[in-house]
Each structure stands twice: as structure tokens, then as C-alpha cells.
Amino acid sequence: MKTNLNTLPCVTLVDQAAMKQTHKSRAPLSLHALLNKCSFSTPINLLSAIAVLCSVSFTTFALQTQDVASLVAQNKANFGQCLEGKKVEALNAGVSQSRVNAEFDGFTFIPRVIELDRSQPEFVSTFPNYFSKRVNEWRITKGREKYAEHREFLRTLTDQYGIPGHYLISFWGLETNYGGFKGTMSTLDSLATLACDERRSRFFSNELFLALKLMDSQGLKREEMQGSWAGAMGHTQFMPTTYTNYAIDGDGDGKIDLWGSEKDALASGANFLWQLGWQPGLRWGREVKLPQGFDFQLANNEVKTITQWRALGIVKGDGSSLPNSDIESRLRVPAGHQGPAFLTYANFRTIMRWNNSEFYAIAVGQLANQIAGGAGLHATLPDLPSFKISDIVKLQNKLNELGYDVGGADGIMGPATREGIRQFQAQNGLVADGFPSPSTVDTVLNTR
């Protein structure tokens, strides 16, 4: 399985001009952290990246069940010998001798971790499906309760980091249901299993060593360290790298505990978003309404000011006027022209640096709005069937055959595929939104 995490934007994350005096200094990210944001297979937040992967793109990793079974058997047989090598690597990476002695002999190989790592979903979620599962009444109500519970503390975080509290609560709700589900797999065993799997050994070895160092620096205990199969931990599902670089002590007890302390988790989320480039005073974006006959080719990542969008007849989701503003934004129609439309601002991209998914970022923003008392979506979510990966492959093959070059037929709804669909639509009298609606797919497949 390959994720689209290699497309995480490499940007200058330090924007001193955007800082207010009262806010914490935005430290330049380490080279390591920057590499983390730019390279394949080094996600910031692997669990949620994988969970929502299907919403943005997917590359199949063609391993049959039998292949996975033999891979599991092979990795299991090699596990002991692999760990001997990892002990040396851990010491070289700065893990203490006492920690190596205490933990390595207790590592257990988890077959399920390899199976999950190689699993190949058959379906790709659509925006209506994704969104309605996440931004629901339960999450909104619970989010408001959590917001009220932490109101004063959230205010201090906003003063220090510039992130409004309702966003912090929203991330928390989407990552772990406000701590209700933080994962139940042993972090150390999961990471050791993946460190001894050839495919991303280097990345997961580094995460394992950082997790071991966190045990020393933060007094974390093996049995407390439970999370996702891929090593994401605590209320905010931080990987060890993120925990090490961005987590902070919010409740002032001298220890950073992303499992046991909600304040540590909220403060860490604020610090992380600040370091990722959050711009205080700016929202994520907003739902908008497009005029009749709107040219959907403009929803192609084009940047315009709000004033320019306004001049094209776009209004707020409730029908009222957009303000005149030089704020730059992009128009997004994640479910095609029949679904909701959004203008997204710079902080939308910051949210995507936490988790590189457009669907996730819209869900974070909209849930935050509703936690703060805002309205739900004004547009109706169209009833779209989930895509089968194999259907997207068929669509791509047919587009290529018809002369719309969408590259390799890989089952990913990437930019080239969207552009190919858009061109096909424009030349065949369909609304050119680049979205593979059932009617568009039918038309493509039935074209001779």
C-alpha cells in the first residue's frame, strides 16, 4: 500500500509576520521534521492518514492473501534475529542501555499489524459517506460539552498559540472521539513488528527508538502505551516523532502524557498546529453557494481572492453576501457539482499538514463551526454510491483509450484523473467538475 503522503506540501512553516506578540514563538522545524513532511512513508499522523486515505487517493498494493500469510510467517521467523540488530541500532540512536535491556526481550510480533499494513480496501469512500459519519449529532453535542468543560484552558491556549478552542476540540473529536477510542494495540509491539518488516523498516525503526526514548524522558509505561496498529498514540494520535517534536505539558505536572491528560493533549494539538503554520484570526474556510451556470473548471485548485469569487456570483452557504477581502482561497466541490461547495483559506492547508486529506480538513472545519454553535451544511449531501477501486481503474483505462491521458490506471482519483474527467465532461456536454459521478462514469464507459 502506498499513501499519497508523499504529496504533503513542503512549505516555509515559519511565518514570523503572522505572529502576534502574545503568541509563542514559532520555532523553525528541525530538518528531520521537514523531511518528515516531504517524503514518502513518513506521515505526521499515520493512523488517521490511513483511515481517510481512501477519501483522497489510493494505490493498491497487490499482495494476495497467500502472499501476506507467507510474509507474516517469514517476518515472524526473522523477528528474534531482527531485534538483535535493532538493539544495536537503538543504542546508536541514543536509546539508553537500561531501556534496551528492559524492553527488547519483551517485544512480541503481531501478525495482524502486517495484515493491516498490507490490507487492500475494495471501496473508496465518497465525501457524503465520509462526512456524515464524522460530523454527526453525537460528535457535535459531545464536542460542545468538552468545549464547555475546558473553556478557560482553551482560552489560554488561544492566547498563547492563536488556535481557537473549537478547532482543538474538533481535532480531538475526529482523532479519537474525544479520547473514547485511543486504540488498543501495544505501541511498542506494533512498532517493533513494523520495524522488522522490510518495506518501511527505516521509518518505523526510528519511530520505535523515539517511543523508547519517550519512556525515559516522560516516564511512560509499556502497558499504558497503546494505540493504533501503526504506532499512533493517545488522545491526538501522535506518532512518536510528532510526540517528541510537538507534544507539550499542558497541565503543568512536568510530564507529557497524551493518554492520561486531556490538557496535555489539547496543548500539544495547539502547539503542533501553531508550528505547522496556523494563521491566527483566520478561519479554515466556509461553505458557499454557487450561481446557476457556474463554470466548475474554476474549482481546479485555482487561487482567487474572496472579492474575486464574490464577483463571480458566489455567496455564503446561507445565501448572504461574501465580504470583500483580499484573503486568498480555493474553491472545492468534494462531491461534484451536485454537492456542497467550499472556499478554503490558508488554515485549511495547515489542517492538511496534520492529515493530508481534503475530506478530513473539511470535517475538522465544519465540526469546529458547529461546536462553536454554527449551522450545519446548507447544501444537501448527494446520495452517491461508494466507488470500487476496480471501477476507477476501468474508468481510467477507458479515458486513456479515448485519448484523455490520465496516466497509469492505478485506482487513484488523482489530479490527472480529475483533469481527464473534466476534459471529457467539457467535450461531452456534461458539467465539467472533474468528479466521477455515476452518470459521468456511465457516459465514459459507454462512449465508443
Q: Kindly list the residues in this chain that would bind Ca ion in the complex (CB under 5 A).
A: 249, 251, 253, 255, 261, 264
Q: What's the min distance (Å) between Cβ of 266 and Ca ion? A: 11
Q: Which is nearer to Ca ion, 118 or 146 (CB)?
A: 146
- Provide the angle, in degrees to the nearest 10, between the axes of the packed helices 262-276 and 165-176: 110
Q: What's the min distance (Å) between Cβ of 253 and Ca ion? A: 4
Q: What's the min distance (Å) between Cβ of 166 and Ca ion? A: 23
- Tell me the CA distances in angstroms from 145 to 84, 195, 425, one per residue in order: 49, 40, 46
Q: What's the min distance (Å) between Cβ of 352 and Ca ion? A: 28
Q: Which is nearer to Ca ion, 255 or 394 (CB)?
A: 255
Q: Which is nearer to Ca ion, 139 or 235 (CB)?
A: 235
CA dihedral 349, 351, 354, 360 (to 10 degrees): -110
C-alpha cell at 345: 483559506
Q: How far is CA 216 from the centre of its chain?
A: 29
Residue 250's closest CA among 240, 236, 239? 236
State residue 2 phi and psi, 5-degree precision: -120, 135
Q: What's the min distance (Å) between Cβ of 248 and Ca ion? A: 8
Q: Which is nearer to Ca ion, 267 or 413 (CB)?
A: 267
Residues in the chain: 448
Give the Cα separation of 210 and 183 in Å (integer).
Answer: 19
Q: Which is nearer to Ca ion, 216 or 249 (CB)?
A: 249
Q: What's the min distance (Å) between Cβ of 263 and Ca ion? A: 7
Q: Which is nearer to Ca ion, 224 or 249 (CB)?
A: 249
Q: What's the min distance (Å) between Cβ of 222 and Ca ion? A: 19
Q: Which is nearer to Ca ion, 210 or 267 (CB)?
A: 267
Residue with grid cell 459521478, as numbered in its chain = 437
- Provide the angle, in degrees to the nearest 10, between the axes of the packed helices 165-176 and 358-371: 120
Q: Which is nearer to Ca ion, 262 or 391 (CB)?
A: 262
Q: What's the min distance (Å) between Cβ of 432 and Ca ion? A: 52
Q: Which is nearer to Ca ion, 1 or 247 (CB)?
A: 247
Q: What's the min distance (Å) between Cβ of 243 and Ca ion? A: 13
Q: What's the min distance (Å) between Cβ of 249 and Ca ion? A: 4
Sequence-distant (6+) residues with CB within 8 A of 411 are 58, 59, 60, 124, 389, 390, 392, 393, 396
Q: Which is nearer to Ca ion, 220 or 432 (CB)?
A: 220
Query: Nearest 5 degrees, angle CA 171-CA 16-CA 42?
Result: 45
Q: Provide the residue type at 190 as one letter.
A: S
Q: What's the min distance (Å) between Cβ of 186 and Ca ion? A: 22
Neighbours of 348 (CB within 10 A): 22
Q: Which is nearer to Ca ion, 15 or 149 (CB)?
A: 149
